[in-house]
Amino acid sequence: MIGRLENGGHHTMIKDRFLGFLIWQSFQSTLVYFLAKTLFLPSTTTTTTITIILSFFFFHLSLLLFSSSLFLVSSPQPVAGVSPVELFFGLLRLVFVYGGQPLPPDFRRRARVTLRFLFFVGSSAVSAYLAVLCLCGGGTLGLRGLLLGFIYGPHYVFTRRWVLDFPILQRPLFFSYKMGVQKAVVKAISLSSTGYLVSLVVPIFISDRKETMRDLVLEQIVFYFASCVVFLCWELNRHLLQVFLTRRYMFAPPKGSAAAATNPSDHLLAALENTTERSFVHHLAYLDLCMVSESNVDTWRRAAFFEETGETYKKVIAVCLKPLEQLTLDLTEGLGSSLEKSTFQLSHQLRSAAELSSVSGLHEPFYDFQVCAWSARIASSLTIRSHKEDRLGVAQLSGCNAATITTLLSCLLAVETLMGKKTNLQPSNAQYPANIKWAALSPTTATTVGIIPNKKDSPHYAKAYSMADILRTSIYQIVSNFHHEMITSSKNGLLEKDWVSNGKPLYGSRELILHKLRMFLEFQAN
């Protein structure tokens, strides 16, 4: 069921979803617990009622601890923390250098991220210890369960599994959950097998000499199934949390209400402009806007964008282009290229080691990949929709169409430069002001200036190529729908005036932007 935002509702929306997640995870964990106790772990079941109740209670308490820490570290996109060494020296500076004064805001933010990760690792160890004790009993199995948690926690953190992916298709809650159950089961078996083998070191140091061979074999079997149960509950909880937190939320007043008739876009714009960036609410607002722009489900909401003053449409386009503009600026800064030049110079090859080290962080601009992808799709879809639905022509008259094309092309040029392309300006001819030839950089030069070599193991290879494909597709969609108008403007010499913004683009030059647009008009951009 899709919720609707009321006044201030976004402050409690995530909390409500988290509470719903805790309720549903308790149901699925109860089912897994009783199935395990009945089918796989019957020998550990005692006849004392109070022991059974306490075992059940502490099992759920361990999962509650794990689920809470899981929610605490989950994020819609990667976030940077500090290393334990940096955190230690930061605390020393806080005491001896700053004299108890607050540390810099950026360091505090990254330190909070690291502390959350450390808390998650510790919670995983404690949760695994309690869960294994409830399933298997005492002995050395509890310590082996503690080791399982210390294995799972760092694995979860360093593989960035805490970054929750938004599904391509929005399905009902049950079907979204069902899609990931098989994957969770396979992952749980894989992790439990690895954890079981690693935890075999515990009995080497702590062993019970009175155990018979039969008891030892039975203990190993029981512990393996118990580890499978623990990891299965954890993986199912992670998948369930992702389903709850990535569901679409409608930032709109109820249809038919007074607010829907007067200001149906205010809730959405407030969520886009006033919420914290990189938060789940911020991502959900972009997701909602993307679905409104691309689908025909809420046409009344999209029609409200094209109101007669044009202010709403300009605001919507502005918030869509902002992430793409930031991505372009970040790539430009990371590449170290000058905004006054569109070609690489020899000076790039002579940069110091400190400057080159900053290029290694070029993958950080793609932390906002999901929002940037939505932004490109939204800007493209609204521009296309304006061709038929914008009866007053506010999109063209306000300059939003030109701003959209310019921003998309500038961002594409920056991404293509990162991918290893460069531009060579050739002498002008009669047809174009300049003939711009695209070529790939040599591997040596690409490595020197920090460009992506053509290797799939590069840290930002997939995101850069995906972003380039999304930008090209968005531009081609606009060009295909406005092809006649653009061809007419080109013949009349008005293509630059009608479809390229005034002023210098964020990347490249107006001449380069115009030539790239002509390549799209000829369907030759690749």
Domain locations along the chain: 17-246, 306-341+365-423+458-522
Measure the CA angle with vertex 376, ends 374 and 380; round to 5°.
115
Residues, the chain: 526
| Residue 462 structure tokens | 């997939």
Residue 104 neighbours by CB distance under 10 Å: 11
Which pLDDT score is estimated for 450? 47
CA dihedral 362, 368, 369, 375 (to 10 degrees): -130
Residue pLDDT, tens place only, 433-456: 444 444 444 444 444 444 554 455
Residue 45 in this model has a pLDDT that exceeds 70: no
Provide the pLDDT for residue 63. 96
Are residues 97 and 107 in contact, defined by beta-carbon separation less than 8 angstroms? Answer: no
How does DSSP classify residue 4? B
Name the band, by pLDDT with cuts 50, 70 and 90, for residue 248.
very high
Q: What is the CB-side half-sphere exposure of residue 154 using CA atoms within 13 A?
A: 5
**453-488 confidence digits (pLDDT tens):** 445 555 577 888 999 999 999 999 999 999 999 999
Angle at the Cα of 242 from the Cα atoms of 240 and 245, rounded to 5 degrees: 110
Structure-token match 């097998």, residue found: 193
State which amino acid sits at residue 325.
E
Asked whether the beta carbons of 491 and 395 are under 8 A apart, the reply is no
CB 174 within 8 A of CB 149: no
Distance, in Å, from the CA atom of 264 to the CA atom of 258, rounded to the nearest integer, reads 9
Per-residue confidence band for 122, with pLDDT thresholds at 50, 70 and 90: very high
